[in-house]
Chain A
């Protein structure tokens, strides 16, 4: 089955700096890659997603890039703010069941004021 790896597991940045989280996936048939943000005590919430027919997508301070050849995708957060502090998960849609998602292990982002 699909295997999604995520790095780093923890990331600490100064407010205003950029943060980058990277994920790799194993199955080239996967075609949908969402990113979720989980705040303490809450369920994960979608922040951005990308489908395999595009290489980059941007939404204000958040962007996601996808390299299908290398099978990796990344989340970029610019001008980080303390409220960006949370756990971020990447995911890939299952190759043989496009409604089944495989999640990375998560990145705990700490933005220091």
Chain B
């Protein structure tokens, strides 16, 4: 497809389990972002990948959260030992670099995580 693809679209898990969320960005986009959106809230920055540079992990809320981006394309956000407060929609976005005239973020439809 032409857009950003995220999977799964919905995930229900038990407290303490690990989950993996996947993002397929738009081909050719060098930047990839993860945001978290809690019910009725704004977008909370989690992590940002740009090309081959070290990722900006400054938004990750705890060491239970990690993300990787393989081959400059697909990204996986991993949450270990999930807690109820992790319940949210996790949005992935990709873009060209703002430095080269890009900047528009193209968002996926999100992965809704529910921790029971």
Task: List residues of chain A with CB under 8 Å of any chain B CB.
Answer: 6, 32, 34, 36, 41-46, 49, 89, 93, 97-106
Assembly CA distance A46 to B103 (angstroms): 10
Q: In the complex where A99-B99, A100-B56 touch, is A46 in contact with B105 (Cβ < 8 A)?
A: yes
Tell me if A44 and B98 are in contact (CB < 8 A).
no
Residue from A36, A44, A105 in contact with B41 in the complex, judged by beta carbons closer than 8 Å:
A105
A103 to B110, CA, bound (A): 17
Q: How many A-B residue pairs have CB under 8 A?
A: 59
> How many Å lie between the Cα of A36 and that of B104 in the bound state?
10
For the A-B complex with A36-B107, A43-B109 known, give 20 more contacts whose Cβ atoms are closer than 8 Å: A32-B98, A34-B104, A36-B105, A43-B91, A43-B110, A44-B91, A44-B105, A45-B107, A46-B104, A49-B104, A93-B98, A98-B99, A99-B98, A99-B99, A100-B56, A101-B105, A102-B45, A103-B35, A103-B42, A105-B42
Q: Verify B41–A99 contact, CB threshold 8 A.
A: no
Q: Which chain B residues lie closer than 8 Å to A42 at the CB level?
A: 109
Min distance, Cβ A46 to any Cβ of chain B, angstroms: 5
Task: For B41, give the chain A residue with the smallest CB separation.
Answer: A105
Please list 12 pairs of residues, one from A and one from B, whose beta carbons are closer than 8 Å in the complex, sorted by A's number: A32-B103, A36-B105, A42-B109, A43-B107, A44-B107, A49-B104, A89-B43, A93-B98, A97-B56, A99-B97, A103-B43, A106-B42
Cα A103 to Cα B41 in complex, Å, equals: 11
Sort chain B's interface into a size bin. Answer: 20 to 34
Residues in chain B near residue A101, CB distance under 8 A:
33, 45, 105
Closest 9 CB pairs of A and B: A43-B107, A105-B42, A103-B43, A46-B104, A98-B98, A99-B98, A106-B42, A44-B107, A43-B109
Q: Which residues of B contact A43 (CB under 8 A)?
A: 4, 91, 93, 107-110
A103: B residues at CB distance < 8 A: 35, 42-43, 45
Is the CB of B83 closer than 8 A to any CB of chain A?
A: no
Q: How far, in angstroms, from A106 to B41 measured CA to CA in the complex?
A: 7
Alpha-carbon gap, A95 to B45, bound state (A)? 15
